[in-house]
Structure 1
Amino acid sequence: MKTRYVSTIPLDEERLAKDLAHAESFRYSEAYSDYLIGGPWKNAMLWATGGDIGTGLVTTYSYDQRPTFTEYGRQLPYLQELITNLADLSRLQFVRLVPILDTVIIPHRDFLELTDLPEDQRPAHRLHIPLVTHENCLFSEDNVVYRMRAGEVWHFDAAQIHSVASLSRTTRVHLMFDFADRPGSRPLVDVPEAETDDRIPTQSRVARPPLPDDRRADLFRLADILTIDNVREVFAIVIKTHFRWDGGENFAWDTMTALARACKDPAVLPHTLELLRYFTLDRSDSKE
């Protein structure tokens, strides 16, 4: 399934604001923050297998237990109502409240670390609903950069290489749903689907100018200063360039690998290739 816009739902701004204000008191997990360059990836479990808030790492939950609202989810009446009314609870495994700001996410695939789980138990379908967002919160897949706006419902193909940028000090907050891949008696979410053949509508897409040759050359001069100590900072520059300019397919990883090959520090290339493996190919040896 490719990422696609599904529908737009009305949000009760007053009730939502009350829930989000209360959620500021939660202790957010920072699991998966190694995917980000900038601020941490914070998340609070509202619904989970066993009803446990847990660690935030999806590999640490008991998949043989019935999913239900967590202690945090039960404290947010509006979001609890929204989840109950929208989602097929028989297949819903996790719902996370996810705020991020001033950060980029390394292009990656999700679910790679879950291959040991039975197919009908492992999370396989993801859905996003932005609750609070801004124009500089951007998503990327297949060299298409786009925005998800508040109240929009998106089926998000996390198995494809994707990236996110929140290029602002303003916090964006999403509800993120994970569903098991098994048959159900109803759709994953009960909303009227938009009548369009364009999975990412034109109005959601961000028009980026082609990356000029002189800017590309400037970017490759980062090889002169690239060391094992500043790999993440240089990669952040490359990723931000991708969100503002069209450098072509697989621009971020191809550029970072080329910089690693050209730099003088011999530790950078094997480290970069290991990052590429971990984020896009195989996390079978990872605890996360």
Structure 2
Amino acid sequence: MVATQLAGHVDMDEGKVRDELQVAANFHFSEAYSDYVCGGPWKSCMIWAAGGDAGDGLVTNYDHSKKPSITGYGEQLPYLRQVLEAHFDLEHLNFARLAVIEDSVTFPHRDLLELKDVPADSRNSHRVHIPLVTNDDCFFTEDNIVYRMRPGEVWFFDASKIHGAASLTREPRTHLILDFTDAGRDGLARFPVDPAGSVPKDRIVSREPVSESEREALLGLAGVINMDNFRDIAGIVIKTHYRKDGGDDFVWSTLEEIALRSGNEVVREKIGHLHEFFVIDRSA
């Protein structure tokens, strides 16, 4: 897995992309990973997958022994298929999906934890993000850095590190997400790759520090948190991270402190379980 970085740019016809996303709007989008979000759903639709089967969107539910190929949905998107064929080595492409998020944030998490039992030669090892539709209220985060991706950019993305995504608007954000088997970074692309080595400074969002009064106000949510609203409160904490700098591990440390102060053992156990599941071990 290579470091998260801007790798290059793919010229795409905006009109053709828009037309095909209108076609895709009639597809069935899976919400298999919506447990990862607070707010609206995180939806995805496979256009390339094991056996050419669109499946249910949950990568562990595919037969990884079958050769990946275009799905029925992908067949209906000839321009996006052309983009894939022209710019990437499809021999090593495992999955390609359209991913849509709006008015929602994800819990900070690590991916690939659930793929330990998948054979190494068919396991997702490298991820690429290509924003198709986005706006200035859509963000990613990694290592307490908040940054934006722009349409048409190609990003190598280290999904094994703790990361998250946010759409702080009702405008849908759509990315093309590609997962490759381990071919090495240089074996993935068929276009001029000019990796930045990291997130470029002009993509990083400048945030003021969380003030002590703001931090205490968040911790004061301990007085109202319960199993009916813990996800809403988690969303407030996560959204704060995208607008203010609370330091390393701000989201999980704040949620754990809120749960501890609440005195609600059920909530404390729930937050602890989510932290374990999203960051440490997903086998259970």
Q: How far apart, CA to CA, are the structure 2 residues paired with 1:143 and 1:258?
A: 19
Supply the AA of the counterpart residue of 1:140: T
Supply the AA of the counterpart residue of 1:42: K
| Counterpart residue number, 1:41 | 42
Q: How far apart, CA to CA, are the structure 1 residues paired with 2:137 and 2:60?
A: 31
Which one has a larger percent helix, Structure 1 or Structure 2?
A: 2
Q: Which runs of 5+ in 2 are unaligned?
A: none
- Secondary structure of the 1:189 match is coil
Q: Is the 8 A contact 1:224 1:264 kept in 2?
A: no
Q: Is the 8 A contact 2:50 2:68 kept in 1?
A: yes
| Counterpart residue number, 2:273 | 274
Q: How far apart, CA to CA, are the structure 2 residues paired with 1:280 and 1:266?
A: 21
Supply the AA of the counterpart residue of 2:274: L
| Counterpart residue number, 1:6 | 7
Q: How far apart, CA to CA, are the structure 2 residues paired with 1:27 and 1:216?
A: 41
Matches within 5 A, 1:171-186: 171-182=172-183
Scaled by the length of structure 2, what TM-score is found?
0.97
Scaled by the length of structure 1, what TM-score is found?
0.95
- Secondary structure of the 1:228 match is coil
| Counterpart residue number, 1:242 | 241
Q: How far apart, CA to CA, are the structure 1 residues paired with 2:187 and 2:253?
A: 38
Residue deviations 1:134-165, cap 9 Å, x none? 00000000000000010000011111000111
Supply the AA of the counterpart residue of 1:249: D
Q: How far apart, CA to CA, are the structure 2 residues paired with 1:2 and 1:211?
A: 28
How far apart are residue 191 of structure 1 and its match?
A: 2.5
| Counterpart residue number, 1:283 | 282
Q: Which runs of 5+ in 1 are unaligned?
A: none
Matches within 5 A, 1:131-170: 131-170=132-171
Residue deviations 1:87-136, cap 9 Å, x none? 11111000001111000011001111110111121112110000000000
How far apart are residue 284 of structure 1 and its match?
A: 0.9
Q: Is the 8 A contact 1:120 1:182 kept in 2?
A: no
Supply the AA of the counterpart residue of 1:282: D
Supply the AA of the counterpart residue of 1:101: E
Residue deviations 1:13-72, cap 9 Å, x none? 111111111111101111111001111111111001100011111011111111110000
Q: How far apart, CA to CA, are the structure 2 residues paired with 1:37 and 1:228?
A: 14
Q: Is the 8 A contact 1:228 1:265 kept in 2?
A: no
Residues 54 and 208 from structure 1, CA distance in 2 versus in 1: closer, same or farther, beyond 3 angstroms? Answer: same
How far apart are residue 183 of structure 1 and its match?
A: 5.7
How far apart are residue 228 of structure 1 and its match?
A: 2.1
Supply the AA of the counterpart residue of 2:252: W
How far apart are residue 73 of structure 1 and its match?
A: 0.3
| Counterpart residue number, 1:191 | 191
| Counterpart residue number, 2:218 | 219
Matches within 5 A, 1:252-263: 252-263=251-262
Q: How far apart, CA to CA, are the structure 2 residues paired with 1:195 and 1:274?
A: 37
Q: Does 1:228 align with 2:227?
A: yes
Q: How far apart, CA to CA, are the structure 1 residues paired with 2:184 and 2:275?
A: 33
Supply the AA of the counterpart residue of 2:193: E
